[in-house]
Amino acid sequence: MIKESEYKNRRDKLVKKLSNNSIAVIYSATNKTRSNDTEFPYRQDSNFYYLTGFTEDNSILVFIKTKNFSKTILFVQKKDKKLELWNGKRLGISQAKKRFLVDEVYDKSSLKKRIKEYVYEKKYIYCKLINKDKRVKKLLKLSKNIKIKYDLELIIQKMRLIKSSSEIKLIKKAINITKNTHHKIMRETKIGKNENDLLAQIEYEFKSAGAYSDAYTSIVACGNNANTLHYIYNNKPLMENELILIDAGCEYKYYASDITRTIPVNGKFTIAQKKLYSLILDTQIKIINNIKPKVKRSELQKKTEILLTKGMIRLGILKGNYKKLIKRNKHKRYYPHGIGHWMGLDVHDSAPYKDLKGNEIPLAKNMILTIEPGLYIDKNDKKAPREYRGLGIRIEDDILVTKDGCENLSKGIVKTIKEIESLSNN
């Protein structure tokens, strides 16, 4: 668990980045309609949660900063027995005052009246982009003389790049639940089943282990389905002698995991599957070994493209000089995506990849990113050797950058051919 003092430290750090004579406002997430009068399960806005640890809707966090003082105010919904009967218990104002280390707590309905006082004689307002949130438009109508700064989210997102020890512990817990789930799937007999059978088991294992949910819509793609990168239908029969690409990670106490393993339906790789899988695994291991502070993601991407292109030439999938092939983007026919992404409160953590000057942000201690090389060869691709057609393989792990290198947080999830076949036939 993350202590209230850590959330306060984050807020204090944010205030230091604000200009004097300014106000900053961040809203909780809104409920999302699923159909008619039903809603999706509520999930708090990640930036709001990062600063508060508060999971209720209809909440607002306000920062006020002048040359001589700063103040943090939280607005929450008041206790209401009738509403709580339908929608569950609310923390309420008095309990919020006891729990949160903020200066003031008020009823959310008083925001409009109080905001006029807050913006009086202020020079700047930090908020979310107008086109992202209608609530911001209403707010700005009350503060016409203020110079608008839309970089509040950018400031928070940059803070989120570096993970605290408590955040890393939560991510490790999410990964451990995900590990047990992937291993459970590997052990199960899959012949005669459907992709959806595995999906249902994944969701069951996540929730029964205490995870809030999956961190994203899981992918269970058998055979040629794996060549659709964001395949989410998950409803086709599992066919013998084919591979299953499983991209599934749980979310534990708001923190994500993101793991992909590719396994054989019948528990044993074919010769062609072994060749392609070995190329991708060898590439991933080499890239992970290159991770350390000051390295740039673009450098990892370039090395990945070189390794995979050289490997595809050896396997006869591509022909020619690897440098010329990469220059002409021929490798992207089979490797169209990036080597990885930031991960944290969001599976694709919304932390920046470049600074305000457009320079790439290098890796630093306690950043977490995924490393996920893959190759995707459609069954109808007549340019590829027949033995590789219909194969889609990706291997993905979650990596913590350390002081002088890195730690593969998901190294406990088996991924060598020998390990997978052993576990699948156990």
Annotated active-site residue in 251, 305, 396, 397: 396
d(CA 54, CA 106): 15
* Total Cβ atoms within 10 A of residue 374: 26
Q: What does the alpha-carbon distance between residue 192 and residue 240 come to, in Å, rounded to a whole number?
A: 9
**Beta-strand relationship, 60-65 and 22-27:** antiparallel
Q: Given 124, 348, 389, 407, which residue is catalytic?
A: 348
Known catalytic residue: 37? Answer: yes
Residue 118: both structure tokens together: 């807050």
Catalytic hit among 7, 254, 376, 388: 376
Residue with the two structure tokens 């607005």: 75
Name the active-site residue from 341, 397, 398, 421.
341
328 assigned to active site: no
Separation of first and last alpha carbons in the chain: 36
Beta bridge partners of 255: 252
Question: Residue 258 catalytic?
Answer: yes
Catalytic, 10? Answer no
Contact, 238 vs 191, CB < 8 A? Answer: yes
Among candidates 232, 245, 195, which has minimal Cα distance to 372?
A: 245
Active site residue: 57, 167, 242, 258, which one? 258
DSSP, collapsed to helix, strand or coil, labels residue 149 as strand
Residue 230 falls in the annotated catalytic set: yes
Q: Which of 37, 117, 121, 404 is catalytic?
A: 37
Q: Which of 114, 135, 183, 337 is catalytic?
A: 337
Catalytic residue among 56, 195, 305, 372: 372
**Annotation marks residue 335 as catalytic:** no
Q: Is 153 one of the annotated active-site residues of the chain?
A: no
Strands 368-371 and 397-401, how do they pair?
antiparallel
Annotation marks residue 378 as catalytic = no
Using DSSP's 3-state secondary structure scheme, residue 245 falls into: strand
AA identity, residue 74? L
**Catalytic one among 247, 305, 346, 398?**
247
Three-state DSSP class for residue 325: helix
Q: What are the respective helix, strand and coil percentages of the chain, to the nearest 5?
A: 40, 20, 40
Whether 182 is a known active-site residue: answer: no
For 404-426, letters b (16+ CB in 10 Å) and e give eebbbbbeebbbebeebbebbee
Secondary structure string (H, E, C) spanning 277-318: HHHHHHHHHHHHCCCCCCCCHHHHHHHHHHHHHHHHHHCCCC
User: Which position among 394, 397, 398, 421 bears the catalytic label?
Assistant: 394
H or E element: which one contains 349? none
* Burial environment of residue 169 by CB neighbours within 10 A (0 to 12, 13 to 18, 19 or more): middle
Q: Among candidates 280, 270, 282, which has minimal Cα distance to 421?
A: 270
Buried b (16+ CB within 10 A) or exposed e, 273-293: bebbbbbbbebbbebbeebbb
Residues with catalytic roles: 37, 230, 247, 258, 337, 341, 348, 372, 376, 394, 396
